[in-house]
Structure 1
């Protein structure tokens, strides 16, 4: 018989699935896997470290490339003094702690600005080698670490000079909030820089000194562990298909101190493109973010619930399987044996007729056929004792009714689990740390967007100073095309005259209104009625009587800055709370989806002290719980006057919080129960019930005298075997009918 057909496989598979589901339910809903911290808190720390790694990598790479671009602009112009080079760089960029110009041949220091640089650490003899100008880390006498970046200044007829700039390894614009520390760790586990832990001399009490000492010790332990884990391949540290951060990242749990548990996330500096490398990623640095969280081991439900649910499933499943075995499988197997007995010619004893459904109808038909084979007229034959097959009761009940009863039994267990039990409502406990992290990460993202716009405007100022009073459009176009190729943040670059005429351009068609001169703001939005926001930056070109270099930012560039996992939906809104950019689909200049988000934006823009402060809130509306945060632009730069605010929000039911995890597991158990019942009972209906109903009709027709209809088996199973036996009985009766007819003719 067929492995997939017949009555046995569906019932056996259903039994196995229900037994496995009972075990899964007992373990998943009643296990004793108490967590010291919710998984959502640890995942949030991992995302926080990833944000820090992205910000640090972008800052270091931008620092190196800006120095190289500045040197390239100077090399393309007429020679200037070393002091002029440093003065112009300092007026445009305020990112380097120290800059210097050194004559390569003699090693003479030509000019310097800011902190003293460790120039003795530079091997000038290796600058001409491949990779000789690559950035490198050096340690100062005070123990701090600096990243030195290099670029060549070359003019015809003058000795080559080396432009040097130093950057710290501290995080640009990372919002730490309270009780958090963040550190940069090298591959050996040594902490190169850290923020968030006060210096010992800044504390006042013995308890504070103990806390600082404990934090430093814990951070060092986390740093050593993170450095060891950073050597792992990224694909081995994440679940398959998880996506998100492309580097190595994860979370850790540390020691407990006065009811607080240390939790940390770590992330390596990774290139934005898969498989790529940058200046910063070649340094082998890892970011570690640590925070103290109140420890709690409260469970979302009683462990007895899982055991009780599994026991109930075993009882219901046993009842359903028993019904299928007793009312479907055994009668069908008995019919198979009885039909084969009649086919062999054993007609001495009556057919054992089942009690219910199609099996009873076929049994009655077999008994009538047995009597007909003994000589009774076609269509005749005494029915055995019991209800008549023509009665409506047996025909109405049938095996389909039994399957419905089994489905109702299994649904009585599955539906409450899927829709009723263990529902996490508005009283679900959401750790305050998650709300804090939502606020601080949104604030960090705000600073990242602001710095990106400021960097873009600084590049425009640098290019505008190079263009100066060039007389030909070809020269300006050459500079603009080279800048557009180096800076992918611009969709279009062009020089605009005071009367609105485009003197030279590179990139896509300008969106600036015809006949309109440069705006007064350094960065602005051109048109609030367009399908796509056009964000432009203006930089006056020296010596051109009011002409300005205009750079139109790609809106996709801003959107890409907002795509961070674990923040939900993110929007950048202007001072009128209209959407400018977002990490998911949106309409330009649309309003935020709810009034409470508008209120959050307004409250975050209220000045507390000297500047606005980011805000985070947990909304509870019936059974829906949502976290939201808003952070306005603060700090200096050309982007500050925009008055933009970054808003993020997400429902908490998607986070790994105990109540919601238990709800998801309970729902999953109910769905699995319904799936197992639908699959196995549907399988049984297709391969057994439908063919059996058709066979009952054919058997009754054969017993009523239909000798011409050939019976074909649909499957090679029990129903098919009974069908083949009935076909042989039909042939035997047909032959018997021919013999009786021949004898009657002979007698006549």
Structure 2
């Protein structure tokens, strides 16, 4: 060989390395695995820090925000119902002949008792036509009503019968006594003349039970307290700050799918033993939502004192140890994969390229590992054949560890680190410390939900009773007029699935909507809300109101089951059920669903429901089992009304693991670290197996077949990587052998 040969050989070696594919092959998955494992180790050290007991404040604060949201929704729904009830009642009096003002107020007074004062006024002349109850400040109403009349002129005489062109937006007014009233105005358009029906209602705090430690405020957009309940906090500095925060948040756009209005929480005053958790929520409306009360600028603010002791859940040392172990395993696995997969592939590429170029002076080096050893033995046989030897069967290399087994072992090593974090370590268990305040808040929110359902059912009965007044005015002689009233009621009241009139024997006279489910042959129920069935696919609940002077005729409004479901659906309360007096499920929240008339899922819930019958504001408990803890509460219907004889309750249960407690936070972070580790290992090792290991095993078989004398099979690379480069080199060798001598049998027979 010339003296310059060694240097030329070195240059050729450099060129060969430069020809090596840099994309694909074993390098990317191995490098990605190392990078991801390092990131998982860093995340494990960061997220598994010590979780101070102050995190309990976050759970309690979130709970106060939910309480305030419930209160805001209850307040808004109550005010909206007052507005729509007055407007719908006014629309029912529409007709070609004017109904006397005193008659209108008398009929409304028999059905509704929510308003402190009622009046009928003439906006054009400014005269008071009739009044009931407390004196209503009518100056602003007369002014706005006159302007409204001037704008509308007499167009309503032609095309606005029973319409709402004369309706004014509800407003808040302050009486000389300092009390706040909401004025609701509706147009009375009958006989071709516009009159205004005005009602004043008290602005009460929502139906949330208070106590020695809880305060409840209703504030306006300026932060002024309009109503309050519980211990006085209005003079404290933190309460003023909280009121300003709540007032400022009213104008913010609510988050999609969340509370229809801004809401939040903050910390109030604190001392050595107590901390004050504050929640606020605006009684606003989402964009595009219709809510008369949503524009009044009202917000609900609630505060409660908590006395939890401060202590920490120690996980920092655990996190550091887990991260360090993962670092060691990441380096070890990467080193193994480089030594057993990546480096042998590169060396096989160089050896096959050397033989393909005709450099046959040196034997092929020995390889460790089953597949590299098989390919190396085949290359050595091919080198001998190129030198003039005969095809020989190399046979499968015995011994050595296969590349697939190596990847499996590496995966098992990484899963041995991740699986305990995902399944076993840092489990919260059933001994988690749950603050008593959270149990109490579960009871309060369940009680609020029960009150909301009760009021909604009573309001529905009042609507049916107002329809009965109108139906009774016709004396039952005009079925077409009665049917028109029923259709209007059904269209404007989405809570009903059907509205109909029964005679004294229970026969349907007139109906609108779905088929009636009143039991055939049974006389109508007395004025009340009644449960019509105790079995079947869906519950049947209806409001019955007798027609005055109707000789036993009764108007019935059947509630839509979806209406009941919407009443008990509240975020952050867990699973919620509406049950009858036998604890059979009538409705449940949308998220979890239910089977009508099935039993409550747990004996402890039945026991709790029995106990709640004796409690005014419901009861709650922390239920512990081997699988974990849960907050359960039950609240019966209280306060009377048309539902007083139903005996229904609202029952709720929320797993403690859904709460933002430090033990569960540590558990979730530990599981997250394990899940990230599993994902990184499975993704990268699976990538390596699919794109490298499987083609490498196929390559070993192809190399052995070629060495055994198979000259007919053309070899095509699957990927442009190290294994593909070896396949291309084998194809060059096959072509050289095919040109030198005829193809021979592969020796497999």
SS of aligned partner of 2:228:
strand
Structure 2 match to 1:531: 537
Whole-angstrom distance in 1 between the partners of 2:513 and 2:234: 56
Q: Map 1:192-211; keep pairs closer than 5 Å.
A: 192-198=226-232
Once superposed, which parts of structure 1, at least 4 consecutive aligned residues long, lie more than 4 Å away?
1-4, 31-34, 77-81, 129-132, 388-391
Say which of 179, 203, 226 aligns to 1:144: 179
Please tell me whether the aligned partners of residues 191 and 220 of structure 1 are also in contact (alpha carbons under 8 angstroms): no
- Pairing 1:447–2:451 present: yes
Specify the alignment match of 1:252 in structure 2: 266
The corresponding residue for 1:724 is 728
Report SS of the residue matched to 1:187: coil
**CA separation of 1:363 and 1:33: change in aligned 2, threshold 3 A:** farther
TM superposition shift of 1:362: 1.3
Between the aligned partners of 1:77 and 1:552, the Cα distance in structure 2 is 30
Aligned to 1:176: 210
SS state at 1:447 partner: helix
3-state SS of 1:351 partner: coil
Aligned residue in 1 for 2:518: 512
Change (3 A) 1:68 1:709: closer
Query: What residue number does 1:282 align with?
Result: 295
Alignment match of 1:217 (pick from 237, 261, 274): 237
SS of equivalent to 2:654: strand
More displaced, 551-560 or 366-375?
Answer: 366-375
Q: Does 2:225 correspond to 1:188?
A: no
What is the alpha-carbon distance in structure 1 between the residues aligned to residue 352 and residue 654 of structure 2? 66
Cα deviation for residue 328 of structure 1 reads 1.1
How far apart are the structure 2 equivalents of 1:529 and 1:10? 60
Q: CA deviation at 1:141?
A: 2.5
Equivalent residue for 1:85, pick from 75, 84, 104: 104
Pair 1:578-2:584 in alignment: yes
Asked if structure 2 preserves the Cα contact closer than 8 Å seen for 1:177 and 1:440, the reply is no
Residues 292-344 of structure 1 deviation map (CA, whole Å, 9 limit, x = unaligned): 22355533333111111111110011100010011111111111111111222
The number of residues matched between the two structures is 705
Aligned to 1:472: 478
- Equivalent positions of 1:558-637 (< 5 A) are 558-583=564-589, 584-606=592-614, 612-637=616-641
Question: For 1:165-223, what per-residue CA distance to the aligned partner results, in whole angstroms no more than 9, with x for missing partners?
Answer: 1123323422235422222232333333222234xxxxxxxxxxxxx466x43222111
Match of 1:671 among 651, 670, 675: 675
Quote the residue 1:436 is aligned against: 440
Task: Tell me how far 1:393 sits from its aligned partner.
Answer: 1.1
Post-superposition offset of 1:495? 1.3
Q: CA deviation at 1:127?
A: 3.6
Following the alignment from structure 1 to structure 2, what is the Cα–Cα distance between the partners of residues 502 and 414?
68
Q: 5+ residue gaps in structure 2?
A: 1-19, 152-164, 745-749
Instruction: Give the gaps of 5 or more residues in structure 1.
Output: 199-211, 381-387, 741-748
CA distance in 1, matches of 2:555, 2:738: 102
Q: CA deviation at 1:568?
A: 1.3
Query: Does the aligned pair in 2 maintain the 1:36–1:297 contact within 8 Å?
Result: no
Cα distance per residue 1:261-311 (max 9 Å; x no partner): 22222222244x762232111223222222222355533333111111111
Q: TM-score, normalised by structure 2?
A: 0.89
1:38 Cα deviation (Å)? 4.3
Q: Which residue of 1 aligns with 2:83?
A: 64
> CA distance change for structure 1 residues 658 and 551 in 2, over 3 Å: closer, same or farther?
same
Aligned equivalent of 2:251: 231
Q: Does 1:420 align with 2:434?
A: no
Q: Which deviations, in whole Å up to 9, do the C-alpha atoms of 1:668-717 show, x marking residues without a partner?
A: 21122111111111111111111111111222232233333322211111
Question: 1:45-92: per-residue Cα shift (whole Å, max 9, x none)?
Answer: 221111111111111111111112222233449655544433332221
1:344-359 counterparts in 2 under 5 A? 344-359=357-372
DSSP 3-state at the match of 2:37: helix
Say whether 1:51 aligns with 2:70.
Answer: yes
RMSD over aligned CA atoms reads 2.4
Q: Secondary structure at the match of 2:552?
A: coil
d(CA) in 1 for partners of 2:188, 2:743 = 117
Corresponding residue for residue 292 of structure 1: 305
CA distance in 2, matches of 1:76, 1:579: 44
- Is 1:488 the counterpart of 2:482? The answer is no
